[in-house]
């Protein structure tokens, strides 16, 4: 690969980009093992794609906020390095596909010029902090949560406590009790609250923890009815510290906060979270409510006159895609983006068409659409006309006809069967056969290409996930049908139940049967989930059972949507494996890097960060020595216990109070200069002794061989 250098205003980012380039080169040379390199690139938003030799790059868009300039910059990058398509995700990110690994440092540098990052968009990190896309304009919100989401993003970006956790960690801020950011499926979910204290209005948040989807969805648990606003970030930090230390690391299927709570119990986890507060960098973190520039309405100007060609469509659009903001006299305009895909050309035309008539504040919705703010009523006909030219004025935003989906087998390594094409088919079924349902925003349809729920099928009223099954000695693409999920409100939700698995080509018939049954038999005003509860899972199983009959499979049903060859389960793989190298030596080399980071942060007066790098050194080094004996503990706390048992108790290393007690002093001491000096010096000594111990053992082994 060609050497790449750049001059950026942010020296931290510049150094990271140069370091990424170096490590890509070392990976190609076989000096970094594939598993280690995967962790490194994922933390930089670079995800192995289903197609060999190319990457998906995920661009981090905190709480979905874009300016016109940033959207145009991302479009430019997609044209230069990818395919000219922007994929809006359910975490308010933007993904671009088919990127060369060797060009990712240059891509990152281009994005950073407009203060856009890919850092920690993937991997075992704090993922993109999401928020209700209508935050700031929601008529029901107690206050705008956007600054809180942004401050949380800033605090945990590059924070040493969350660079290499057992799994990802997700945080969401809803704008009101309607919970449109789905707090209940997040590791930490927050809902704004106000209360009176001594005659003064005080801001805070209801806090829930331990939610998550995936193959086994779980809803979150309430931990605070009201947490003062200055305690939000310290509390999240304490939760992350507990997850980092006690969370599963070997079995990825169990390596989420929800399983830690299930294993230890909520009461014990809450106790440990409180214990961690001693070591927090900040005991109080006041939020700068003005850290983001106030969104300004567009200047008043004459609006071009337009002739509405399709009055019926315009009226439907007004009813379903336009609503009044809390700022009287202004309207939000919602854009339905099919499958979340928008071409760069369309994105540029969109900006050009609307920038004079809406605020410079576009929000990516977690339902894969776009929200425009501060449209004046006189501009609505013009905006509709311009959006319609771009095929972005389809009515039914967040209705039954607005299906959420992940990329599935189009690009994802884990996709089992198609999700994108079937989504387009489902939307045609709704539009053509159930046109009145564009006004129904109670029923939500969500589709994932596998059980992992990136399309959020686990909280859908009507959900599907890709699967496969066998009949007549052949494999056919299938859809698992789930029903009954959704928002209850104020931090409470419900997960969908698995009902039946059907051949994928029969998915549209499932949709028809369920919707017609609901239409024919529901009571006046009865919501879909209430109808589902009244009828029961067994009722819907019997209703759909004929569609699961494989004795009637047609030849075309062995072919997936959008394909022309017989289906075969082919879960993708990542990059080619590199040569096998010494993983123990790699871990020890990482420990040396952590020592340098500890010293660097200490010199800068960032004592809490310096101490945590020292903690990581202790854990990494102990794990390296345990791996040398063939022992691979699944959590950090087990690493400490095993090291005590195998090395300290055997007299190979000396820690009078025990290794675990020695290392976890981090919990019992304020992160000041004095403790930092002592802790980092001890970590450095431990690393030196560990390297010497391993070398001595290797020399002894060679002598005896």
Residues 607 and 657 in one domain: yes
Q: Is pLDDT of 216 > 80?
A: yes
Q: Is residue 436 part of a domain?
A: yes
Residues 431 and 331 in one domain: no
pLDDT at 52: 86
User: Pairing relation of β-strands 492-494 and 322-324?
Assistant: unpaired
- Number of structural domains (the chain) is 5
Q: Is residue 396 part of a domain?
A: no
Lowest mean pLDDT among 231-240, 250-259, 323-332: 250-259
Q: Is pLDDT of 7 > 60?
A: no
| DSSP 8-class letter at 496 | P
Residues 440 and 501 in one domain: yes
Cα-flanking dihedrals φ and ψ of residue 203, to 5°?
A: -95, 145
Domain enclosing residue 89, as ranges = 11-112
Q: Which of 64, 82, 112 is the last residue of a domain?
A: 112
Alpha carbons 559 and 61: distance in angstroms, whole number: 36
Q: Is residue 394 part of a domain?
A: no
| Cβ pair 510, 547 in contact under 8 A | yes
pLDDT at 93: 97
Q: Is pLDDT of 4 > 90?
A: no
* Residue 211 C-beta-side C-alpha neighbours within 13 Å: 28
Give me the CATH number covering residue 266: 3.30.413.10
Q: Tokens representing 76?
A: 């430019």
pLDDT digits (tens, 9 = 90+) for 74-88: 999 999 999 999 999
Give me the CATH number covering residue 335: 3.30.70
pLDDT digits (tens, 9 = 90+) for 90-147: 999 999 999 999 999 999 999 999 999 999 999 999 999 999 999 999 999 999 999 9
Alpha carbons 358 and 588: distance in angstroms, whole number: 54
Residues 411 and 523 in one domain: yes
pLDDT digits (tens, 9 = 90+) for 240-254: 999 999 999 988 889
Alpha carbons 26 and 13: distance in angstroms, whole number: 20
Q: Is pLDDT of 578 > 60?
A: no
Q: Is pLDDT of 6 > 90?
A: no
pLDDT digits (tens, 9 = 90+) for 9-40: 678 899 899 999 999 999 999 888 887 888 88
Residues 606 and 497 in one domain: no
pLDDT at 581: 36
Q: Tokens representing 637?
A: 């706390």
Give me the CATH number covering residue 53: 3.90.480.20
Residues 244 and 147 in one domain: yes
Question: b/e map of 134-161 (b: 16 or more CB within 10 Å)?
Answer: bbbbbeebbbbbbbbbbbbbebbbbbbb
Per-position DSSP letters for 265-306, written without gaps between them: -HHHHHHHHHHHGGG-S-S-----TTSSPPPPPPPP-PPPP-
Residues 221 and 367 in one domain: no
Q: How would residue 2 be classed by pLDDT, with cut points 50, 70 and 90?
A: very low
Q: Is residue 299 part of a domain?
A: no
Instruction: Tell me the average pLDDT across 347-372.
Output: 98
Q: Is residue 564 part of a domain?
A: no
Beta bridge partners of 371: 334, 363
Residues 38 and 90 in one domain: yes
Residues 373 and 463 in one domain: no
Residues 258 and 342 in one domain: no
How far does CA 75 lie from the centroid of its chain? 21
Q: Is residue 446 part of a domain?
A: yes
Residues 605 and 673 in one domain: yes
Q: Is pLDDT of 580 > 70?
A: no
Q: Is residue 305 part of a domain?
A: no
Q: Is residue 384 part of a domain?
A: yes
Alpha carbons 606 and 649: distance in angstroms, whole number: 35
How far does CA 386 lie from the centroid of its chain? 32
pLDDT digits (tens, 9 = 90+) for 175-195: 999 999 999 999 999 999 999
Instruction: Tell me the average pLDDT across 50-75.
Output: 95
Instruction: Tell me the average pLDDT across 368-385.
Output: 98
Residues 358 and 415 in one domain: no
Q: Which of 84, 112, 140 is the last residue of a domain?
A: 112
**What size, in residues, is the chain?**
705
Give me the CATH number covering residue 598: 1.20.120.330
pLDDT at 11: 84
Alpha carbons 327 and 329: distance in angstroms, whole number: 6
């Amino acid at each position: 690969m060609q050497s790449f250098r750049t001059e950026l205003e942010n020296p931290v980012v510049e150094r990271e980009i140069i370091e990424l380039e170096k490590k890509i080169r070392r990976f190609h040379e076989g000096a970094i093992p594939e598993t280690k390199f995967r962790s490194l690139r994922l933390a930089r938003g670079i995800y192995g794609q289903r197609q060999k030799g190319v990457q998906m790059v995920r661009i981090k868009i905190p709480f979905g906020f874009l300016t016109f300039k940033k959207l145009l910059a991302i479009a430019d990058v997609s044209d230069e390095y990818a395919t000219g398509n922007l994929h809006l995700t359910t975490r308010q990110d933007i993904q671009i596909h088919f990127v060369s690994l060797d060009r990712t440092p240059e891509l990152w540098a281009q994005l950073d010029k407009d203060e856009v990052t890919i850092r920690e968009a993937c991997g075992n990190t704090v993922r993109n902090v999401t928020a209700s896309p209508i935050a700031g304009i929601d008529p029901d919100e107690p206050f705008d949560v956007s600054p809180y989401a942004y401050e949380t993003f800033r605090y945990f970006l590059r924070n040493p406590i969350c660079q290499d956790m057992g799994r990802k960690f997700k945080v969401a801020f809803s704008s009101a009790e309607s919970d449109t950011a789905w707090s209940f499926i997040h590791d930490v979910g927050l809902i704004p609250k106000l209360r009176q204290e001594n005659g003064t209005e005080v801001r805070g948040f209801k806090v829930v923890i331990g939610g998550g989807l995936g193959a086994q969805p779980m809803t979150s648990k309430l931990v605070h009815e009201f947490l003062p606003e200055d305690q939000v970030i310290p509390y999240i930090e304490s939760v992350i510290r507990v997850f980092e230390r006690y969370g599963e690391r070997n079995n990825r299927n169990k390596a989420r906060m929800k399983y830690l709570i299930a294993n230890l119990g909520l009461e014990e986890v809450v106790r440990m979270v409180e214990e961690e507060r001693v070591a927090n960098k900040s005991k109080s973190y006041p939020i700068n409510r003005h850290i983001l520039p106030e969104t300004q309405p567009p200047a008043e100007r004459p609006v071009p006159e337009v002739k509405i060609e399709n009055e019926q469509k315009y009226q439907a659009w007004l009813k379903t895609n336009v609503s009044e903001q809390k700022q009287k006299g202004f309207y939000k305009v919602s854009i339905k983006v099919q499958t979340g895909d928008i071409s760069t050309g369309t994105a540029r035309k969109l900006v050009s068409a609307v920038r004079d008539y809406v605020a410079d504040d576009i929000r990516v919705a977690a339902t894969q659409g776009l929200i425009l703010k501060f449209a004046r009523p006189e501009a609505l006909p013009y905006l509709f006309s311009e959006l319609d030219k771009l095929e972005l004025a389809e009515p039914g935003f967040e209705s039954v006809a607005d299906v959420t989906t992940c990329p599935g087998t189009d690009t994802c390594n884990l996709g089992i069967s198609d999700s994108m094409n079937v989504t387009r088919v489902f939307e045609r079924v709704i539009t053509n056969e159930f046109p009145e349902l564009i006004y129904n925003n109670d029923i939500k349809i969500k589709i994932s290409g596998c059980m992992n729920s990136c399309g959020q099928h686990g909280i859908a009223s009507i959900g599907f996930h890709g699967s496969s099954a066998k009949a007549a000695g052949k494999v056919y693409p299938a859809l698992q049908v789930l029903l009954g999920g959704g928002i209850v409100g104020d931090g409470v939700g419900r997960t969908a139940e698995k009902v039946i698995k059907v051949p994928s080509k029969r998915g549209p018939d499932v949709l028809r049967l369920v919707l017609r049954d609901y239409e024919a038999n529901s009571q006046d005003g009865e919501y879909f989930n209430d109808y589902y509860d009244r009828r029961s899972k067994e009722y819907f199983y019997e209703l759909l059972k004929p569609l699961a009959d494989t004795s009637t499979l047609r030849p075309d049903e062995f072919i997936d949507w959008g394909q022309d060859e017989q289906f075969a389960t082919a879960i993708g793989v990542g990059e080619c494996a590199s040569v096998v190298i010494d993983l123990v030596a790699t871990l020890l080399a990482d420990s040396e890097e952590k020592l340098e980071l500890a010293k660097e942060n200490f010199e800068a007066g960032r004592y809490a960060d310096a101490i945590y790098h020292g903690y990581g050194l202790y854990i990494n080094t102990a794990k390296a020595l345990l791996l040398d004996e063939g022992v691979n503990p699944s959590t950090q706390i087990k690493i400490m216990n095993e090291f005590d048992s195998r090395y300290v108790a055997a007299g190979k290393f000396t820690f009078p109070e025990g290794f675990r007690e020695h290392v976890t002093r981090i919990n019992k001491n304020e992160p000041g200069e004095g403790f930092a000096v002592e802790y980092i010096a001890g970590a450095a000594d431990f690393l030196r002794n560990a390297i010497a111990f391993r070398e001595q053992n290797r020399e002894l082994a060679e002598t005896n061989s």
